[in-house]
Amino acid sequence: MANIFPRWSNWLPLQIAACLLIIGPVLVAGVTYYFTPKYTRVGYEPIQPVAFDHSLHVTQLGMDCRYCHTGVEVSSHSNVPNTQTCMNCHAHVQANNPKLAPVKKSFETGQPIPWVRIHQAPDYVYFNHAVHVNRGISCRECHGEVNNMTVVRHDQPMSMGWCLSCHRNPETKIRPLDKVYDLSWKAESPEAQAEMGKRLVEAWRVKPPQDCAGCHR
């Protein structure tokens, strides 16, 4: 009686087993990496070419975020300040401090300071800073308590699930516009936040998108 299956099919179970042995660990490694803070970069704290202390400038000296990040209210992109912005103060304040040598060199040569980028959304994600801050979402919600950081770090996961948790319940994060840049401000209680947040969401007609097209354009 002739064989029903061709000869090469004898190796099929072995090939399937080999594939499973390879694909299994790859899937486990992928899930372990892509669903952990290591992938979302929580805690990432690179050494910058200039040791800029936000806790000194913001908390102690009272500088507003918008003095350096001038485009945050009008642009999708929150810009890093240019050297001229730094020199507006440091041409006179701590002018001879050796820690500011890279700033002075940048100002003299016209070459920008090579800041190390910390926060960066993937190319397939659309995010607009102006839309968020002009509707009561503080810098603190995404970037953490930058006003208390001596070295800026990646504070929040900024994953899709993390973003959606806010889009589904904006009343838990939204605040009055005059408190957006006051990173130390908090509602008196979770109940007060919920009540105030619900009122602001209704008044401003805040309806964050929850479909794919809202962020993936």
Q: CB 76: neighbour CB atoms within 10 A?
A: 13
- What pLDDT sits at residue 139? 96
pLDDT, residue 98, reads 95
pLDDT attached to residue 22:
86
- Please state the domain extents for the chain: 41-80+115-214
Tell me 106's DSSP state: H
pLDDT of residue 39: 65
pLDDT tens, the chain, 217 aa long? 556 767 777 777 788 888 888 888 887 776 666 666 666 789 999 999 999 999 999 999 999 999 999 999 999 999 999 999 999 999 999 999 999 999 999 999 999 999 999 998 888 899 999 999 999 999 999 999 999 999 999 999 998 889 999 999 999 999 999 999 999 999 999 999 999 999 999 999 999 999 999 999 8
pLDDT at 123: 87
Which CB contacts under 8 angstroms, 24+ apart, belong to 175-178? 175/136, 175/137, 175/138, 175/200, 176/136, 176/200, 177/134, 177/136
Query: What's the pLDDT score for residue 25?
Result: 82
Q: What is the pLDDT of residue 173?
A: 97
CB 204 within 8 A of CB 161: no
